C-alpha cells in the first residue's frame, strides 16, 4: 500500500509494544538528537507525518520527542524545511535556558503527553490515508 | 441568533450560609461546594478559599478560571455537552457574575500550571488579580493518571461555576448588553456596504492536557465549522488545556473573547461581523492541511473580506496559524494575526516557530520570556511546591522567603494570544 512508517523516539513508553501501523526506532538520547535523527531520515527520503514540535511544550521544557515518518521515493523538501525550522527553534530555546532536572513524576507526565500526541492523532482517520502523499 | 448578556457586577466575595448575590456581594456556601467537588471519587480533598483584588495572596498552581454564568431564557444550559445536555446555546438571555471567578487550583500536574498574584508588581500581568476569586483547591487520588486528574479538575470547576452562576438567575443585572448575529444571508443584507469580517478561532487540540471541547466534542476529532459568536458566551467551548500558563485560553476567555467583543463593538459601524470559523491545532501534518483547507474554504464560502486569526500555544500551532493565514489570504481575503512571542529575554530572536510571506499584519500580545521578580505574599492558596518546575520557572526560581524570580510565562494569561491582557497593543 505504501512505504514503511517509523517512529523516531526517545520516549520509553513506546518500547516493546506492537503498533502494527508503524515500527518504533527507540534511542536513548536528548530531544535535539531526535530532531537531528529525523533530519537524517528526511535525507534518506523519509517524509514527516507528525509535526516535530507537537505539543506546545518547548524544547527546553520536555526531554521527550517522537516523530512519525514514512519512506518515500524522493526527498520531501517540505519535511526538510520543517525539521530544519524545528532544529533552529530548539537550539534557540536551549540557548536561553537548559532543560530542568525533572523529578520522576514530571518525567512520567511528559512521556504520557508525548505518547498521546502520536496516538491521539491516529483517532480520526482512515488507515490507508497515512500512505497518501 | 440574539443574546442578551446581563452583567451583575460583583464587588466582593464572602462565605455565607446560602450562595447568593446581594448588593454586589457574592456569598458562597463553602461546605456545599466541597461536597459537590468530592462527588467525583477521583478527588480526595477539596477546599474553598477566597482571594480578592489587592490582597497579599498568591494562587498556585492554577488550572482553569471560569466566570459564573446562568441561562435565564432560551434553549439549553451553560457548558452543553459537558455538564449539561447537548443543546444549541447562544440565544435568549444569560446572566454573568462579572468581577467574580471560580479558580481551580492545588496539587496538580507538575509542570503545566501557572500562578496568579492578587497584589504586588506582577498582579498587573493577569486579569484575574482584579476579580473576586472563589478558589477551589483540589487534590486527586495518588494513583490517578494525569489526564483523568485533568478531567476531574475540569469538571469540578465547571460544576462549581454553574452552581454559583445560579445565584444570579433572579438578580436584576447592572447592565444588559445585546449581541446579535443573523443567519448569513440576512446578516450580509443588513449592512451591504460594510466589509464582511470573520474570526478564525483556533482551538488547542494536540493531545492529552492540550484539549478543548466544543459542545463536548474533543476539538482534535472535529473538522472546521461555523458558529455564532454568542454560542461561546454560553459555554459552548470549554478549556481542557494545561499547557503554558501565559497563553492558556481559560474557559473565562472563551466566555469573554476580546476579539468577538471588539468585532461586535464595530459591527454595523465600519464592519459587518459575520461570525466565527472554528478550527483546531493538530499534530499530523495531514490534519493541518485538511483543517487549513477547510478554514479557507469556509471563509471564501461566507464571502468574507477580512479575517482575524488567533491561536493557542507555541511551536506546532504556529504552523497551523501560518497555514491558515496563507490559505485564507490566497482566497483574496485580508488577514490579521494575533499571537504572543517567545523571542528570548532581549526580544531579538525569532518570535514564532513558523512564518509565511502572507503574514504581513500581526498584533503581538507580548514576550513571554521576560523575567520578573515576584515578592513574597502573606498567604498562598494551593502550594508553591511546583514553582521551579512550572513553565517559566527554573532551578533557583523560588527563594527561601517565598519570593520568586521567573519568566512572565508563569503567570496565567500574561501573554494570552487573543489580546485579553495588558501587554497587547491597543488603539486609542
| B347 in reach of chain A (CB within 8 A) | no
Please give the Cα distance from B204 to B199 (Å, whole number): 16
Q: Whole-number mean pLDDT of chain B?
A: 94
Please give the Cα distance from A117 to B205 (Å, whole number): 10
The pLDDT score that the predictor gives to residue A120 is 80
The whole-model pTM stands at 0.93
Cβ count near B53 (within 10 Å): 17
SS3 of B378, please? Answer: coil
CA B188 to chain centre: 29
Q: Which residues of chain A have a CB within 8 Å of the CB of B394?
A: 97, 100
CB contact under 8 A, B316 and A110: no
Q: Which residues of chain A have a CB within 8 Å of the CB of B291?
A: none
Please name the residue that has the C-alpha cell 463593538.
B265
DSSP states along B235-293: TSEEEEE-S-GGG---HHHHHT-HHHHHHHHHBTTTBEEEEEEEEEE-SBHHHHHHHHH
When CB atoms are compared, the residue of B209, B221, B345 closest to A123 is B221
Structural Rg of chain B based on CA atoms: 21
CB contact under 8 A, A53 and B315: yes
Range(s) of the domain holding residue A116: 5-131
Residues in contact with B313: Cβ distance below 8 Å, sequence separation at least 6, in sequence order: A56, B204, B206, B210, B241, B243, B244, B247, B281
CB contact under 8 A, A96 and B286: no
| A56 in reach of chain B (CB within 8 A) | yes
Q: How many CB pairs under 8 A join A and B?
A: 129
Q: Which three cell numbers stand for residue B257?
A: 473573547
CB contact under 8 A, B145 and A88: no
Nearest Cα to Cα of residue B268 among B192, B342, B335: B192
For residue A1, pLDDT beyond 60: no
Please give the Cα distance from B271 to B264 (Å, whole number): 9
ipTM at complex level: 0.83
pLDDT digits (tens, 9 = 90+) for A30-62: 999 999 999 999 999 999 999 998 877 778 888
When CB atoms are compared, the residue of B283, B314, B395 closest to A101 is B395
Q: Give the closest-approach CA distance of B110 to chain A in angstroms.
A: 6
Give backbone dihedrals phi and psi of A129, rounded to 5 degrees, phi first.
-70, -15
Nearest Cα to Cα of residue B214 among B280, B311, B149: B280
Q: Give the closest-approach CA distance of A39 to chain B in angstroms.
A: 16
Q: Which three cell numbers stand for residue B157?
A: 470547576
Q: Give the closest-approach CA distance of A14 to chain B in angstroms.
A: 16
Q: Which three cell numbers stand for residue A111?
A: 512521556
Specify the number of domains making up chain A. Answer: 1
Please give the Cα distance from B371 to B392 (Å, whole number): 9
Q: Which residue, among B316, B357, B397, would best test binding to A if mutated, counting the most A CBs under 10 Å from its CB? A: B316
pLDDT digits (tens, 9 = 90+) for B219-251: 998 999 999 999 999 999 999 988 789 999 999
Q: Give the closest-approach CA distance of B285 to chain A in angstroms.
A: 6
| B239 in reach of chain A (CB within 8 A) | no
When CB atoms are compared, the residue of A85, A117, A124 closest to B354 is A85
Please give the Cα distance from A41 to B60 (Å, whole number): 43
CA A71 to chain centre: 15
When CB atoms are compared, the residue of B111, B207, B313 closest to A117 is B207
> B92: burial class by Cβ within 10 Å (0-12, 13-18, 19+)?
middle
| B368 in reach of chain A (CB within 8 A) | no
Please give the Cα distance from B396 to B399 (Å, whole number): 7
Question: Low-confidence residues of chain B, pLDDT below 70?
Answer: 108-112, 425-426
Q: Give the closest-approach CA distance of B174 to chain A in angstroms.
A: 40
The pLDDT score that the predictor gives to residue B108 is 65
CA-based nearest residue in chain A for residue B311: A56
| A110 in reach of chain B (CB within 8 A) | yes
Please give the Cα distance from B255 to B235 (Å, whole number): 6
Please give the Cα distance from B242 to B328 (Å, whole number): 29
Give backbone dihedrals phi and psi of B333, rounded to 5 degrees, phi first.
-115, 135
Catalytic residue, chosen from B242, B246, B299, B365, is B242
Amino acid at each position: 500500500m505504501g512505504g514503511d512508517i517509523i517512529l523516531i523516539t526517545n520516549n520509553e513508553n513506546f518500547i516493546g509494544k506492537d503498533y502494527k501501523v508503524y515500527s518504533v526506532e527507540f534511542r536513548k538520547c536528548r530531544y535535539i538528537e531526535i530532531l537531528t535523527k529525523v533530519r537524517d531520515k528526511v535525507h534518506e527520503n523519509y517524509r514527516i507525518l507528525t509535526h516535530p514540535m507537537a505539543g506546545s511544550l518547548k524544547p527546553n521544557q520536555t526531554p521527550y520527542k517522537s516523530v512519525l515518518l514514512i519512506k518515500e521515493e524522493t526527498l520531501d523538501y517540505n519535511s526538510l524545511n520543517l525539521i530544519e525550522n524545528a532544529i533552529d527553534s530548539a537550539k534557540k530555546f536551549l540557548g536561553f535556558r537548559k532543560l530542568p532536572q525533572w523529578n520522576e513524576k514530571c518525567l512520567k507526565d511528559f512521556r504520557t503527553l508525548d505518547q498521546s500526541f502520536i496516538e491521539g492523532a491516529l483517532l480520526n482517520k482512515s488507515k490507508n490515508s497515512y500512505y497518501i502523499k | 441568533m440574539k443574546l442578551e448578556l446581563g452583567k451583575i457586577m460583583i464587588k466582593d466575595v464572602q462565605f455565607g450560609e446560602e450562595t447568593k448575590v446581594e448588593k454586589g456581594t457574592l456569598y458562597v456556601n463553602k461546605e456545599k461546594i466541597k461536597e459537590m467537588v468530592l462527588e467525583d471519587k477521583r478527588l480526595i480533598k477539596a477546599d474553598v478559599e477566597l482571594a480578592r483584588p489587592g490582597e497579599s495572596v498568591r494562587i498556585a498552581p492554577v488550572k482553569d478560571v471560569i466566570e459564573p454564568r446562568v441561562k435565564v431564557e432560551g434553549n439549553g444550559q451553560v457548558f452543553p455537552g459537558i455538564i449539561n445536555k447537548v443543546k444549541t446555546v447562544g440565544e435568549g438571555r444569560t446572566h454573568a457574575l462579572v468581577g467574580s471567578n471560580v479558580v481551580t487550583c492545588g496539587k496538580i500536574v507538575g509542570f503545566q500550571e501557572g500562578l496568579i498574584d492578587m497584589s504586588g508588581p506582577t498582579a498587573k500581568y493577569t486579569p484575574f488579580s482584579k476579580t473576586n476569586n472563589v478558589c477551589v483547591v483540589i487534590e486527586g487520588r495518588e494513583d490517578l493518571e494525569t489526564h483523568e486528574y485533568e478531567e476531574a479538575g475540569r469538571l469540578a470547576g465547571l460544576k462549581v461555576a454553574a452552581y454559583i452562576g445560579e445565584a444570579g438567575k433572579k438578580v436584576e443585572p447592572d447592565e444588559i448588553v445585546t449581541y446579535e448575529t443573523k443567519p448569513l444571508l440576512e446578516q450580509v443584507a443588513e449592512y451591504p456596504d460594510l466589509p464582511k469580517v470573520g474570526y478564525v478561532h483556533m482551538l488547542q487540540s494536540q493531545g492529552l492536557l492540550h484539549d478543548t471541547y466544543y459542545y463536548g466534542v474533543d476539538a482534535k476529532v472535529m473538522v472546521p465549522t461555523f458558529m455564532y459568536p454568542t454560542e461561546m458566551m454560553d459555554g459552548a467551548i470549554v478549556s481542557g488545556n494545561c499547557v503554558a500558563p501565559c497563553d492558556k485560553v481559560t474557559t473565562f476567555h472563551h466566555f469573554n473573547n476580546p476579539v468577538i467583543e471588539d468585532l461586535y463593538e464595530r459591527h454595523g459601524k465600519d464592519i459587518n461581523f459575520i461570525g466565527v470559523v472554528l478550527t483546531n491545532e493538530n499534530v499530523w501534518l495531514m490534519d493541518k492541511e485538511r483543517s487549513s483547507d477547510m478554514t479557507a474554504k469556509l471563509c471564501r464560502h461566507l464571502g468574507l473580506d477580512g479575517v482575524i486569526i488567533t491561536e493557542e500555544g507555541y511551536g506546532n500551532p504556529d504552523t497551523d496559524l501560518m497555514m491558515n493565514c496563507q490559505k485564507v489570504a490566497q482566497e483574496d481575503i485580508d488577514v490579521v494575526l494575533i499571537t504572543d512571542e517567545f523571542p528570548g529575554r532581549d526580544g531579538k530572536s525569532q518570535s514564532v516557530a513558523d512564518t509565511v510571506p502572507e503574514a504581513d499584519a500581526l498584533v503581538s500580545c507580548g514576550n513571554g520570556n521576560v523575567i520578573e521578580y515576584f515578592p513574597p505574599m502573606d498567604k498562598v492558596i494551593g502550594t508553591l511546591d511546583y514553582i521551579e518546575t512550572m513553565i517559566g520557572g527554573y532551578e533557583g526560581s523560588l527563594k527561601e522567603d517565598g519570593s520568586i524570580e521567573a519568566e512572565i510565562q508563569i503567570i496565567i494569561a500574561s501573554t494570552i494570544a487573543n489580546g485579553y491582557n495588558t501587554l497587547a497593543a491597543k488603539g486609542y
